[in-house]
Amino acid sequence: MSLARKAIVSTLWTSGLNYIAMGVGFVFGIVRDRILMPDENGIYMFGLAVVDLLFILAAVSFNISVIQSDEEREDLYSTAFVLTIILSILMLLAALLVAWILQLRDTTEIKIQAFLVLALFSTLNLFTILFSSYLEKQLEYKKIARINLVAVLAFPVVSYVLVANGLGAWGMVLGYCSTFVVSFVGMTLVSRYPVGLKLNPVTAKWFLSMGWKLIFSRGMEVIFVRYGTLVTEHLLGTRLQGSYGRALKYWEMAPQTVAPAVVTVALPTYAKVQKDPVRLSRAFSLVLYFLVRALMPFVLVFGVLAESFIRIIGEQWLEAVPVLRILAAGALLSPMFENMKQLLYARGKPEAIVRVRIAQLVVFIPAMYGFVLWMGISGAALAIVLNYFLGVLGALFIVRREVSVRWMHVFVLPVLFAAVATGVFLLLPPGMLGMGPIVQFLLEALYLLGIFALLELVTERRQLIEHATYIRSVMKGGDHPEAQ
């Protein structure tokens, strides 16, 4: 099977099962969140934020290095496995230290306990990511997709059952941990990772030399997402922090929708063709083209229909409406930056992303604190959007020297169509049916997105057919040069 065909098949598998899981999970999440209270979600989000910030130290996890490396490195897999064992032990000890510090700061007992449980199960994920990289390197995404399907479903289903039975914050914590357990067991059984206990000093040194660069770039990603949770908790309290966190989680549906194409498949695909500028540019452009068009509906829903959407999950979350509206722009910016980042990782240039991340961090840390003081939880959302905007600008300056992309062709029309759809919706809004928030939201979404889809299909029909024809030819094993 050609590289292009294997990449497209992998994308379809991972995307298809990911969408099934997201759809089912979305339904269970909606029902769960109608029961869940903001302060309960705030406890869970606090524990998760502290865990994720602590595990910045584990950003040296060696999956990207395994994918990017050649097979000639001696004891590659056994060295990565031994280093992961050492890293897991260090992270558990660090978690105990952080719990002691939280206790000294008079953090409530339930928040410390939630943190410790989440930290314990997060160490399993270090092994899961390593085992998954062995399959990713071979583009074996059918296996990964099947495991991820069950793992993604575990959190909403388990958390719903537990929250519905009165466990509140603990229902969220244990539901999240169930995802780690399912992923770990699945990858352990399926990946057939060549486990070994031989530590090669030269290979280990190479892993660590790559790892310190990834600590900065991947660690900063965590800061950009979780720092806002701690700032809103400190300045505004657990209830508003919980509302902010729930809006953030629904916003994350946008990057999660395109994650299979942007992250899971793009990195190894870009790595395979990194020395062929024409094929690399073609792959990057195709991902970016469909990325913008797939994400624009999220921008419209979050930006225009935020209140209608939030009413579905209950009146207790209405304080999150302005947060979701502001985050709408980030629904497009975040995956765009991720795609550029994967390209640079594949080219073996993580230090370029480090430079961009440092510039972002200098602006983001004071901006988050200042904006929250000024605008409350809406300010936290504004700081996140500003951060991604700066990241895209910085990465774009670097990426344009790596690939050739017709940027105007990719962006102009979808943005124009979204603006037209928004204008028509605001000037000629649909009526109120009086049949409940779910029906009302569906009516408004179909109306708004229908206008956008109609404009897109009528105007860009030829380009869409060209790209679809290319994909079909690759799927059939055609002889196009790009498909080889």
pLDDT of residue 297 exceeding 70? yes
User: Is residue 475's pLDDT more than 50?
Assistant: no
Cα 209 → chain centroid:
25
Handedness of CA 290, 454, 14, 21 (dihedral sign): positive
Distance CA(171)–CA(86), nearest Å, equals 31
CA dist list (Å): 248 to 58, 111, 317, 411, 445:
23, 20, 12, 25, 20
**What is the distance between the alpha carbons of residues 232 and 238, in angstroms, rounded to a whole number?**
8
The CA-atom distances, in angstroms, between 263 and each of 99, 343, 399, 448 are 33, 10, 16, 29
Q: What was the pLDDT predicted at 167?
A: 92
- pLDDT tier at 433 (50, 70, 90 boundaries)? confident
pLDDT band at residue 242 under the 50/70/90 scheme: very high
Residue 424 has pLDDT above 80, yes or no: yes
Look at residue 42 in the predicted model and tell me its pLDDT.
93
pLDDT of 222 strictly over 70: yes
Residues 325, 302 contacting (CB under 8 angstroms)? yes
Q: Give the tens place of pLDDT for each residue, 301-354.
A: 999 999 999 999 888 999 999 999 999 988 888 888 888 888 888 787 777 887
Contact of 304 with 422, CB cutoff 8 Å: yes
Spatial distance between the Cα atoms of 158 and 373, rounded to a whole number of angstroms: 36
Query: Which residue reads 């999956």 in tokens?
Result: 63
What is the per-residue DSSP string for 395-455?
HHHHHTTT----HHHHHHHHHHHHHHHHHHHHHSPPPP--S-HHHHHHHHHHHHHHHHHHH
Rounded to whole angstroms, how far apart are CA atoms 244 and 365? 18
- Position 60 scores a pLDDT of 64
In this predicted structure, which of 38-52, 146-160, 201-215, 407-421 has the lowest mean pLDDT? Answer: 201-215
Of 253, 212, 233, the closest CA to residue 25 belongs to 253
pLDDT of residue 473: 58
Q: Which class for 393: exposed (0-12), middle (13-18), buried (19 or more C-beta within 10 A)? A: middle
Q: What is the model's pLDDT at position 73?
A: 65
| 3-state helix vs strand vs coil in the chain, percent to 5 | 85, 0, 15
Burial class of residue 432, CB neighbours in 10 A (0-12, 13-18, 19+): exposed
> Which residue, chain included where needed, has tokens 């109608």?
34
3-state secondary structure of 314: coil
For residue 161, what are the contacts with CB-CB under 8 A and spacing of at least 6?
Answer: 171
451-470 pLDDT, tens per residue? 999 998 888 777 777 766 66
Residue-wise pLDDT tens digits, 180-197: 999 999 888 887 788 788
Q: Give 188: exposed, middle or buried? Use CB within 10 Å, 0-12, 13-18, 19+.
A: middle
Residue of higher predicted confidence among 15 and 369: 369
The whole-angstrom separation of Cα 327 and Cα 382 is: 7
Question: pLDDT class for 260, splitting at 50, 70, 90?
Answer: low
What pLDDT is attached to residue 80? 79
Of 127-141, 304-318, 389-403, which range is least confident? 127-141
pLDDT for the residue numbered 263: 61
R_g over Cα of the chain: 22
3-class secondary-structure state, position 200: coil
What integer pLDDT is reported at residue 403 of this predicted model?
83
- Report in angstroms the alpha-carbon separations of 126 from 62, 123, 223, 434: 9, 5, 19, 49
Q: Taking residues 16-25, what's their average pLDDT?
A: 72
What pLDDT is attached to residue 217?
62
Q: Is the pLDDT of residue 58 over 90?
A: no
CA–CA separation, 197 vs 86, rounded Å?
11
Comparing 343 with 367, the larger pLDDT belongs to 367
Residue 130 has pLDDT above 90, yes or no: no
Q: Give 264's pLDDT tier (boundaries 50, 70, 90).
A: low
pLDDT top residue among 72 and 361:
361
Mean pLDDT calculated for residue range 277-283: 78
Residue spans per domain, the chain: 3-483
Q: Are 331 and 299 in contact (CB under 8 A)?
A: yes
Nearest to 40 by CA among 102, 119, 110: 110
The rounded percent of the chain whose pLDDT value lies above 90 is 36
What is the structure's pLDDT at 478? 46
Q: What is the mean pLDDT of the chain?
A: 83
Q: Note the pLDDT of residue 87.
A: 87
pLDDT at 200 over 80: no
Pick from 212-221, 236-245, 441-450: least confident: 212-221
Q: Give 68 or 283, the one with higher predicted confidence.
A: 283
Contact yes or no for 284/343 (Cβ under 8 A): yes
